[in-house]
Amino acid sequence: MRRFDAHCHLESYEGLTVQPRSFALPEGMFCATSGFSAESNEKNAGIRDMLNSEFGKPSGNSSGFHESQGIAGLPGISNPGNAASGRRVFLSCGIAPQTAQDIEKIHDLLPLWIEQYRAFKPDAIGEIGLDWHWGKTDLQRNRQIWAFEYQLELAERIGLPVVIHCRDAMPEVLSRIESYNVKKFMMHCFSGTQEDALKSVELGGIISVPPLRNKDRKKAVKAVGLARLVAETDSPYIGKTLNDINVSLQIISDSLSVSLDDAAESTFRNALQFYGGKGSGF
C-alpha cells in the first residue's frame, strides 16, 4: 500500500539530527517535509537531498524558481536540479505566522529568507498563514498578515502551490487566498467547519487530515469527498512518526465508508499531484 504524508517536519526528528544516515522511510512511504523558519527550511532542504539521493533520484521541482548556484556557506545543500520520476521526499519552504510574529525586523529579513529558500527549489511555499491562537497582539497579527501576503504574492508570481497554516483565523485566511491568484493550496491540519472546508475547495484548495479525530473534521471530510483530501501526520508534533499516517487514513476511511486501501491510494495521488511529482508507477 502506497502512502503519502502530505505534511511533516523531518528536521525535528531526533534520529535525523543525531544519526541522519540511519533514518529510512517506511516501505511505500512518500512525504513532504515542511519548513517554518529560515533554519528549518535549510535543514529540510538538506534532508530532502540526502534521502532522495539514497533513492538515486535528484531533488527539487522543475518549475517556479529560476536556476540558482545556491548560497555560499550553507552546509549540506546540493544544487538539486530538475524533478524526476521516483522522488519520495518533497519540500515546502516558508516563514510561518508563529515565526513571523516575533521577528522585530520581519520587513527586512523576510525578503532575504525568501532568497535563501529560492536556492532550495521547493515544491511548495509553506507553511504560511495566520494564527490568532498564538498571535495575541495587534503588532504580532500585523506581522503575520504582512508575511502571509508577501509570500502569497510570491506564490502567485512563480506559480507554486501553497501550504496553509490556519488557526482561529479562517475568515481572514480564506479572504486573502481569494485575493491572490495562487495556483493551488492545501489547508494543512484542517480544523475548520464543514462550511470552511467547502469554501476552501471552492477556491481551489485541498483539505489535509491529521491523525486527530473530532466531529467537525469528520463532517468536513464527508462534505468535500475523497477527491479533495490528503492525509498528514504533522509529525513529530501531532503524530509521532510517519506511520501515524495510518490514523489519518483510518479517519478518512471511516468518514467516507471506503476501504483503507482506497483512502491511501487516493490521498497518495492527490498529494503527489499537489506537490508536482510524477512518482513511481506513473
161-170 pLDDT per residue, tens: 999 999 999 9
What pLDDT does residue 75 have?
A: 30
Q: Which residues contact 151 (CB under 8 A, 6 or more apart)?
A: 94, 95, 110, 114, 125, 128, 162
The residue extents of the domains of the chain are 3-275
What pLDDT does residue 183 have?
A: 78
Per the structure block, which three cell numbers stand in for 193? 467547519
Question: Of the candidates 149, 209, 208, which has an alpha carbon nearest to the alpha carbon of residue 182?
Answer: 149
Q: What share of the chain is helix, strand, coil (3-state, %, to 5)?
A: 45, 15, 40
Question: Of the candidates 52, 61, 57, 3, which has an alpha carbon nearest to the alpha carbon of residue 27?
Answer: 3
Element (H, E) at 78: none
What pLDDT does residue 59 have?
A: 59
What CATH superfamily classification does 3-275 receive?
Metal-dependent hydrolases (3.20.20.140)
CA torsion sign, 124 to 12 to 79 to 89? negative
Question: Of the candidates 123, 131, 132, which has an alpha carbon nearest to the alpha carbon of residue 155?
Answer: 123
Is the Cβ–Cβ distance between 59 and 121 less than 8 Å? yes
Cα distances (Å, whole numbers) of residue 170 to 24, 96, 166, 199: 36, 15, 6, 10
How many Cα atoms occupy the beta-carbon half-sphere of 155 within 13 Å? Answer: 33
Alpha helical stretches, state H, the chain: 14-18, 38-54, 97-100, 106-118, 138-158, 170-179, 194-202, 215-224, 245-256, 260-275
What pLDDT does residue 63 have?
A: 36
pLDDT of 62 strictly over 70 = no
Q: Which region among 21-25, 46-50, 111-115 has the lowest average model confidence (pLDDT)?
A: 21-25
29, amino acid identity: M
φ/ψ of 126, rounded to 5, equals: 150, 165
Q: Which residue has the higher pLDDT, 264 or 23?
A: 264
Q: Which residues contact 278 (CB under 8 A, 6 or more apart)?
A: 83, 84, 85, 272
Please state whether the predicted TM-score (pTM) of the whole model is above 0.85: yes
Is the Cβ–Cβ distance between 236 and 10 less than 8 Å? no
Cα distances (Å, whole numbers) of residue 86 to 29, 30, 80, 111, 167: 12, 10, 14, 32, 34
Q: Which residues contact 62 (CB under 8 A, 6 or more apart)?
A: 82, 83, 276
The residue written with cell numbers 490514523 in the block is: 247
> Rounded CA gap, 282 and 121, in Å?
22
Per the structure block, which three cell numbers stand in for 2? 502506497
The percentage of residues in the chain with a pLDDT greater than 90, rounded to a whole number, is 78
Q: How confident is the model at residue 277 (pLDDT cuts 50, 70, 90)?
A: low
What pLDDT does residue 22 have?
A: 74
